[in-house]
Amino acid sequence: MTSFSAPIAEQIWDMKYRFKDASGKPIDETVEDSWRRVARALAKVENKPDVWEERFYDALEGFKFLPAGRILAGAGTERSVTLFNCFVMGTIPDSMAGIFDMLKEAALTMQQGGGIGYDFSPIRPKGAEVKGVAADASGPLSFMDVWDAMCRTIMSAGSRRGAMMATMRCDHPDVEDFITAKQDSARLRMFNLSVLVSDPFMEAVKEDGPWELTWGDKVYKTVQARDLWNRIMQSTYDYAEPGVIFIDRINQKNNLNYCETIAATNPCGEQPLPPYGACLLGSINLATLIENAFEGNAALNENALDDLVATAVRMMDNVVDASQFPLEEQRVEAHAKRRIGLGVTGLADALLMVGARYGSEEGATLTEDWMGRIARAAYRASARLAEEKGAFPLYDAKAFLDNDSMTSMDEETRALVAEHGIRNALLTSVAPTGTISLYAGNVSSGIEPVFAYSYTRKVLQNDGSRSEEEVVDYAVDLWRQKFGDKELPDYFVNAQTLAPLDHVRMQAAAQKWIDSSISKTINCPEDISFEDFKEVYMAAWDQGCKGCTTYRPNDVTGSVLSVSEETDTAPEIDTGADVVYIAEPLDRPEALDGHTYKMKWPESEHAIYITINDIIQNNQRRPFEVFINSKNMEHYAWTLALTRMISAVFRRGGDVSFVVEELKAVFDPRGGAWVRGKYIPSMLAAIGSVIEEHMIRIGFINGEGQHLKTDPHAEIIQMNSPARGKSCPSCGGMGLQMVEGCMTCLDCGHSKCG
């Protein structure tokens, strides 16, 4: 397939974006078929679909325009999935019924493949009075645990885990607990966390003034703003979370501040959205638009950029009409405002190709110029679409023309919008593009610097073996084609060596022309001082960014962005770019050896019997199928489903030990149980432990927890210790005591008496 410049690109396409039938048989024979499928699907809403299909195909051809993965994988397949990448859900009511209604909506949205964001600030703080039930509130973090458990059980469309963003205002009484919540290695693993930081708070930080934590009309606590800021900084310094969102700036600069208020973002932060807001994403591949790369006259083809942007805007606008939506409220919101998020990828490669150093003043100036041209082209294209198809329904001419985006525009663009209105309320955003950048030949991702010039990745093959292949950055590969082994110039920099404030400079340069926001990680060296680390965030605030996310490798967070100096290879823990082939199912022999395990779950009337049968492959015994049986009919449906799913995975071969990790991580919000001296967070986790025990027994893995990335529940508790009582069935704590004739947990308040 000559369209692919690297093996990894074809592998990503085959695994993520290639249309296949239910049995896995390819329907898209080539990537050109995929482009044709997407172009045809998005042209169907046009008056002249044949004409626009060709124009859309031309934009996709050669990886010039990269619709986000949901569009590439879903458009034209007639599958019941959304083509939108991200959602912010409705405002959470401060009531038990309302909270769980929101949980249901979140589950339905993730079921169709959408990442979601929530602001948990509306939920009353822990300890607040709950009128009418003579109880105290458990607080927003307790409900975040419920969301986290739900997310663990839902696999998003395209084989992607559901992703969630949780935000909390800097003046919420529980914000201190929110800041440190993920320091517990077993908690809120499915969430990204960000604090909503207001302008008054930042002013109080700079002045070292007091700061009130309030909810409703009540002041719960007064702290020093700088102390709270330092707690945020210390947590992200040590644990890489929470992020910081400058929420007042986002609302002030929002094109729609006259008709909406934003309090949350999508999981990666590039889309601040109102309740039920949805946005679709796509990226212009700048690396494909550089002419005469590495020559003295290298430059971005601006006319080609303008044409490509105009076509991309039209394609993305059509997605609004072509897509399904998990909820009716999301459909109404999307059609009322027709938000799109057009961004870029390959920026760092494009800068290298014109001889500019990423992070330098020259690089920042070029970035600002290119992003400005994209913004102007997008707004003009949207105005012309409004002339043809109508402005978005909530368009208000005076209010819109007075927003920050429009007052920054040139007169020609302003005149077009004033005359015709505009089709899309917001148009620009910079999303994370890691996977589609690999698909496009390993161009640099989004506006990030080059990760590494090259690295070696291990690929799991059909027979279970691993092969190694070199992954080369797009610009570096082009340099090699032109100049062979000639030494790279000094302006070639990468994420390993770039100074943090250079990252901030680039984010700020791009932000000037982005009407939504930017997903960017500012990589900091492990040995950066805490004071210098804090300066990164303050620089982001001072330079006009809408948020800031950093990553500092350390013993707690690991080192996902590192390259060995000796071998120039990525470490094995860097699995983000790895591709795992799913082989054809293994044939089942007539007879299989296996073992049956009896599992008794506390408070369950009947035991569960788990049978695991094995085969021999490459002289190694490995699990092949699972049968889970119980006399309890309440268990029938989910045990049957689990039997089929796990067996299907086992029959594909390869390293299937991840099944144990996934099951052992399932948390039951109703509480787990203590089994043989160990706290098990759910019945599913207990089944995972049985499968792990079997894998150890047959020699498929070496020992308990050794194959897992994390095994947060592996701590052994001595049940006969005189210092401990019985375990609480709700929280797992050892604080059960007899109180007023009833067993009551002193840790969480659970009572057998109701």
270 is catalytic: yes
Interhelix angle 411-420/361-389, nearest 10 degrees: 20
List the catalytic residue out of 85, 192, 266, 523.
266
Q: Taking CA 267 as the corner, what is the angle to CA 263 and CA 271, rounded to the nearest 5 degrees?
A: 60
- Which tokens belong to 166? 């949780």
Residue 673 and residue 730 in contact, taking contact as beta carbons nearer than 8 Å: no
Sign of torsion over alpha carbons 326, 327, 329, 332: positive
Other beta carbons less than 10 A from residue 641's beta carbon: 11
Count of residues for the chain?
Answer: 754
Find out whether 668 and 657 touch, Cβ atoms under 8 Å: no
Cβ atoms of residues 671 and 749 within 8 Å:
no
266 part of the active site: yes
Q: Which two tokens stand for residue 513?
A: 């022309």
What b/e sequence results for 569-593 when a residue is b if at least 16 CB atoms lie within 10 Å of its CB, and e otherwise? Answer: bbeeebeebebeeeeeeeeeeeeee
**Residues 313, 340 contacting (CB under 8 angstroms):** yes
Select from 398, 424, 402, 412 the least CA-distant residue to 310.
424
- Identify the DSSP state of 748: T
Q: What is the DSSP letter of 156?
A: E
Sheet with 620-630, edge to edge strand ranges: 593-599, 608-617, 620-630
The active-site residue out of 53, 241, 260, 270 is: 270
Alpha carbon distance 341, 601 (integer Å): 49
Which tokens hold the place of 623?
A: 């699990």
Catalytic residue among 170, 268, 524, 545: 268
CA distance 302 to 475: 19
- What is the maximum alpha-carbon separation in the chain? 86
Report the C-alpha gap between 401 and 378 in whole angstroms: 16
Q: Is 292 a catalytic residue?
A: no
Q: Point out the residues that are catalytic.
A: 266, 268, 270
